[in-house]
Amino acid sequence: MKHTHILGALGLVLVASCATQQQYEEAVDLAQHYQGELHSLEVTEARLRSEIDAMRQELALAEVNALEAGGHSDDLMARLADYDRRLAEMRGTPDAITRLDLADGSYIYMVPDAVLFESGSAEISAEGRAALLADVAQDILRAGHGRIWIRGHTDSQPVAKPATLKKFPHGNMQLSTARAMEVWAVLTADGGVPEAEVVVAGFGPYAPLATNDSDENRALNRRVEILVTPQASASGAGR
């Protein structure tokens, strides 16, 4: 910051106007006073900027910790693995959305890909959109929720059709993520689910419910899961 040379400027002006010695001294004192005030303000500004930077760092760290607590903790990942095991035991219905209520207050929807998508596509059909809004979005808003996970899955068959590979050059990981994102878009934009409380992930073929050794098992593995945790488990995002 540039300092204005108040003292020198005032001296020249007062001498030029034939001011009295007393007026000159008073002007000098006043100029010195304001220069001191200016210096004090600069020191205060520097201190405040330092405090703001420290607060920003603390906020960034808090956001990371909140994300880890709400989205990536070992405890939650263990719970997700347990949900997968229980879903595999339940098997589900290949042409309908299935809801499983859990003892901790969470509930999870297993949505077979055939309910929402054509083979190799991430575009949700009109019937699939209606099912998500009626069977999932309204249910979530009515029952209450904390953090919501949307997880896309595929079977182990590689993406092979040229048209599909052109859309998803990174294969099943990209396809599963795109499908999860489309479900997120329907639930948040059309269904009213708060988007800040939703975590979206694609797992490709790496979290199967069954071995990929039959058409039936591969159909079971091609799915989107929507895990809804209790309100108390929300990390604070959007609340």
Q: Are 79 and 151 in contact (CB under 8 A)?
A: no
- Token output for 209: 């419910």
Please give the Cα distance from 79 to 69 (Å, whole number): 13
Name the segment(s) of the chain with CATH classification 3.30.1330.60.
Answer: 73-233
Give the contacts of 126 (CB within 8 A, at least 6 positions apart). none
Give 125: exposed, middle or buried? Use CB within 10 Å, 0-12, 13-18, 19+: middle
H/E run at residue 99: strand 98-101
- Which CA distances in Å does 129 have to 31, 124, 132, 185, 201? 73, 6, 5, 10, 19
Is the domain 73-233 a CATH 3.40.50.300 member? no
pLDDT tens-place string over residues 66-102: 555 554 456 666 666 666 666 555 555 557 888 888 7
pLDDT tens-place string over residues 109-154: 989 999 999 988 999 999 999 999 998 999 999 888 889 999 999 9
pTM of structure: 0.61
